[in-house]
Amino acid sequence: MFPKKKEKPKEEHNPATEQEQPKNEPPAQDAETLQKQLEELRRQAETLQKEKDDIFAKLQRVAADYDNYQKRSAKQITDNVAYEKDKIVKSLLPILDNFEYILANTSCSAADETLLKGVKIIYDQMLDVLKGHGIEQIKSAGEPFNPVHHEAITHRSENSKEEGLVLEELQKGYKLNGRLIRASKVVVNKTPAPQTTPPPEEPETKDTQ
């Protein structure tokens, strides 16, 4: 019989030996492919930055439009209130004029004096209420003529007073919060111009032949 072949001893499994053996690394990527990917990322970043800038600019415009809207709304409300107040005040002025006419031109007996005092009290109360809302009368009589606040209805000559002085107030003027709503109708002093005497005529001389 043939002798038995000797079997080769099996190699023992050693994990440490496997770790020491280098593993196969993936192949390095091509430089051109990396460059293209980098450029694509750069384009995406630029696109996102542009979109962000556009959105920010739109937000700024919206904020500015809203701010302007608030200002316009506040101004419109103020103008509307002032306009309506003007209408109310102007509708009350004829009533005040009637009070003033009655107080200035009514001559009453002692029995009616109490009634006239009552009218004066009501008139003063109305003025106080209007003053609380920014309405005030314009001072005219004895003041220099002011074309902004005064309307000259006629002129009168009083040499003892200054030229352009308001001599009489025919109708009171009013201001609302410092703004004119009706000018005072007044009589203004206009002194006559000084007369100049003409120079004496020289006697005519006749030519003698």
Please, is 182 exposed, middle or buried when counting C-beta atoms within 10 Å of its C-beta (0-12, 13-18, 19+)?
middle
Confidence of residue 143 (pLDDT cuts 50, 70, 90): very high
pLDDT digits (tens, 9 = 90+) for 69-92: 888 888 888 888 878 888 888 899
Write b or e for each residue in 16-54: b if 16 or more Cβ atoms lie within 10 A of its Cβ, otherwise e: eeeeeeeeeeeeeeeeeeeeeeeeeeeeeeeeeeeeeee
Q: Residue 112 and residue 185: Cα distance in Å, rounded?
A: 31
Gap between the Cα atoms of 43 and 52, Å rounded: 14
pLDDT tens, residue by residue, 29-54:
577 888 888 888 888 888 899 998 89
Judged by DSSP in three states, 165 sits in strand
Q: Average of pLDDT values for 111-122?
A: 83
pLDDT of residue 24: 53
Neighbours of 151 (CB within 10 A): 16
* Residue bearing the bigger pLDDT, 154 or 82: 154
pLDDT tops 70 at residue 16: no
pLDDT tier for residue 177 given thresholds of 50, 70 and 90 = confident
Kindly report whether the global pTM for this prediction surpasses the value 0.85: no
